[in-house]
Amino acid sequence: MDQNLTKQQTLLNQMLQDKWNELKAEMKQDRDIVEHKLASVTRSIIQQEITIDQSLTNVKTQLNQMLTEQTVNAKRKKMKQEIQKLASKNDLARFKASSGLYLQSISSGSCKEEPSKESGKYILQSTEKDEPFLGYCEQTAFGGGWLVFQYRYDGSVDFFRKWTEYRDGFGSMDGEFWLGLEQLHRLTSARKHELLVELKDFDGNYIYARYDEFAIGSEEEQFPLAKLGAYTGTGGESLLVHKGMKFVTKDRNNDLTPNTNCAIRYKGAWWYNKCHDSNLNGLYRNSVDGKNIVWSHYKLRLGLAYTRMLIRET
């Protein structure tokens, strides 16, 4: 009987051991599964943390870019506002001195290349070797991209001036002005340009003349009207007779009339021949007189109330 009891005890112990081994195996398997899942979750959490960090970095970068762009745009806007206050070469020189800016860094090659499509004053530089200058860009009329080099509308500025004044320019871009023959020569000799002439009479009637090529020679050549292309427009052709003529002022007689200075006779300055079919730098008067601002193929010698001359590179 003791032997039977011993056998039963041994068998029970073996069963308990087997059960314990089985339980241990199941526990190990469960632990392995849990550890595997935990490792997977941990990897997922780490990956999410990396993704979140990258997203935060991207957001910070974008915010910094936005802030930088806003700062740059604000500076550009302020710069543009400051430029619009300028009206002459002297203003530009003072602006350069006070701002400490390298003007080449904020200049455009031409009105046509200027990215802003708003009419107004801009700093332009025709070639790398030329000094930047202040110019008024017309960005609406006839497709935009035009540089205004002569503007008259109220007679407030005297245009009966000397050679050096026409060479260097005069007036204010906030009013009537002449850009300057030297600047015109530099622009039109560096690149091919076309010409637009806009006119109004004292009744407000508008006409225009457009030429597909326009160039001015050098001062050594006396700033001749070197090139004048084909005409289109509504005002009639009144410039062809002046093609090839040298510029004439009251103190520099280059016209073809013997014993007479056409500039003195007609109170202006122009590419006079013998003497003129047009006199857009003449006297600002509402009367019939060759001394006035006239475009002869439009109402002959009737004085005009508005004249604007513009060039655009082609």
pLDDT at 98 over 60: yes
Q: Go through 70-102 and write b for each residue having 16 or more CB atoms within 10 A of its CB, e for each that does not.
A: eeeeeeeeeeeeebeebbbbebbeebeeeeeee
Which DSSP letter does residue 132 get?
P
> Domain segments of the chain: what residues?
1-78, 89-313
- CA 289, CA 160: separation in Å to the nearest integer? 16
* pLDDT score, position 197: 99
The structure's pTM equals: 0.75
What is the CATH architecture of 89-313? Alpha-Beta Complex (3.90)
Instruction: Give 153 or 117, the one with higher predicted confidence.
Output: 153
Is pLDDT at 60 greater than 80 in this prediction? no
- pLDDT of 277 reads 98
Instruction: Output b/e per residue, 186-219; b: 16+ Cβ within 10 A.
Output: bbbbebebbbbbbbbbeeeeebbbbbeebbbbee
First vs last C-alpha separation in the chain: 124
pLDDT at 58 over 70: yes
